[in-house]
Structure 1
């Protein structure tokens, strides 16, 4: 059987959207033409790929076919790249945007050689994990933590950076003049979170670990909005990676945390069933950059990591 990759692409796009109209729009065709392609592919394979009653969903045969269909499309892209010399592009979704994840990715890319990047913003780790599982992106970059209900099944991660975290205080905070603070010093202060705390695994675990009970969260309206609240609150603070760029907010104090120093764990993630042909080169780039910039230094007597991050240390 000759497998038409155009039909396979139609199937994969429809499987990702589970909506014939949106899939047709994404492919730049009509819904009628898309439906005909799906029917033709089902006829060639002699199986039903979608159940169409009560909404569109994959059949059992469609579930089995989807991973191999993604691999077939990826192989086709590599074949075209080999002939044209264009090189395979790497799609990477990042999250944790207030902490500027692309500054770490960009540093590692410089050590990886000529790689064409297609960066995209991910909403959070659960949404990027879903995109990786569906083949909507090649790599994810941000802080990875366990997801419930097996939503991260089949995904692999590699810890690439442990970044010290500072505390940001407004000028009227009683601790604003300190040269360094311990997490315990913040126990009577108010933790300001850039989004709902239930979605911010690192900040929630920090607050639980160091018994910070006064917490204020809300919708993510950007870094400026968050820092305005911190600056105006005489008891407020937030946490921020030590090397991340801050806008110019007069009077904000960035104070190192010690005894212990919290570390923010940045990881690269991908799906086991498809290793991008450039993945090994990228991992070498992260490793080389990490060695020269001392990204993975960790001492249990000096530093603090959430329990869920400890297992990553053995996977480096």
Structure 2
């Protein structure tokens, strides 16, 4: 209780649904109740708090008070769900949103979640790191997993991260590429080739930094239409190459060559991210799971004279 207000989670749930839908009718349908009942619940919550949470004229919009209340309201609901699960002995749920889907992030997560025991992991697909950062700050997810890089404008303020894996990447080319016969390549050997980026290059921080570092001036990007589309594009263009994690599965290798990169070997940094003021109760258990698997599989080996990491990833090593 704060200032004599005892929050009823039924009212909070009505608010959160309405805040996310910005439409009383759709929110009522989502909660399988009537619009009249939903409106009364939101009005009751506003009365208890003594503030208006929504503007209702000309469409439904959050007020400034509603904007401030929304993140904490989502946290309250999540805490309530965890409390019920603990009381019933049904186990806890950990929501984790992953990005970098062409690089198959869940194959890394899957090796660490064994430490969670009976806890249910609920993975969700996300567009990129900026979108996951927003979800973490809103309380819409518990954890994020992928490549974390600095976001401008303070968009990642309040978020924490832990580096859990450094993965070598290979150059993937068609069998008709001029360098297809090489046993290994240096990144600089690719300067006369075109880097194919399977999404807008502005969203692919690692590929952009790699191209800048090694003088790859020919760059081509396109929509992310999945792994099969990526493979077909590389197969069909003898001038193109892309980068792909060494351990990630590529469909149907016919017509492709995956060539190790050396001198230096580029490393792709996988990190776990969370909101500093909303640590999931099982976060430390999961971090220990990543650490144990990482030690066994040598996930965090880095030698400056042998490997290359973008400058923005170096600071992450200090926290491991």
What TM-score results when the alignment is normalised by the length of structure 2?
0.93
Question: What SS is found at the alignment partner of 2:116?
Answer: coil
The alignment covers a number of residue pairs equal to 316
1:255 aligns with 2:269: no
Partner Cα distance (1:157, 1:18) in 2: 32
- Whether contact under 8 Å (1:132, 1:140) holds in the other structure is yes
Runs of 5+ unmatched residues, structure 1: none
Picking from 236, 242, 250, the partner of 2:240 is 236
Q: What's the C-alpha RMSD, in Å, of the aligned pairs?
A: 1.7
Q: Match for residue 33 of structure 2?
A: 29
- 1:143-292 map, 5 Å: 143-292=147-296
Deviation digits for residues 93-135 of structure 1 (CA, Å, limit 9, x no counterpart): 1111111000000000123322211111111111111111111
Looking at structure 2, the residues matched to 31 and 141 of structure 1 have their Cα atoms a distance apart, in angstroms, of: 37
2:83 is equivalent to residue 97 of structure 1? no
Distance 1:41 1:171 in 2: 65
Q: Output the CA distance in 2 between the equivalents of 1:183 and 1:22.
A: 52
Q: Give the 3 Å change call, closer, same or farther, for CA 301–67 of structure 1 in structure 2.
A: same
CA deviation after TM superposition for structure 1 residue 22, in Å: 4.0
Mean CA deviation greater in 21-30 or 4-13: 21-30
Give the counterpart of 2:11 among 1, 7, 14.
Answer: 7
Task: Give the 3 Å change call, closer, same or farther, for CA 245–54 of structure 1 in structure 2.
Answer: same
- 1:14 to 1:155, Cα distance in 2 relative to 1, 3 A: farther
2: CA distance, partners of 1:129 / 1:28: 30
- Is the alpha carbon distance of 1:103 and 1:17 closer, same or farther for their aligned partners in structure 2, counting shifts above 3 Å? same
User: Counterparts of 2:154 and 2:21 in 1: how far apart (Å)?
Assistant: 21
1:20 match: 24
| Displacement after TM superposition at 1:221 (Å) | 1.1
Distance across 2 between alignment mates of 1:133 and 1:24: 25
Shift of 1:54: 5.3
Unaligned runs of 5+ in 2: none
Q: Which residue of 1 aligns with 2:138?
A: 134
d(CA) in 1 for partners of 2:156 and 2:20?
Answer: 17
Per-residue CA deviations over 1:193-215 (Å, capped at 9, x if unaligned) read: 11111111111111111111111
TM-score (ref. length: structure 1): 0.94
Aligned to 1:109, which of 109, 113, 116?
113
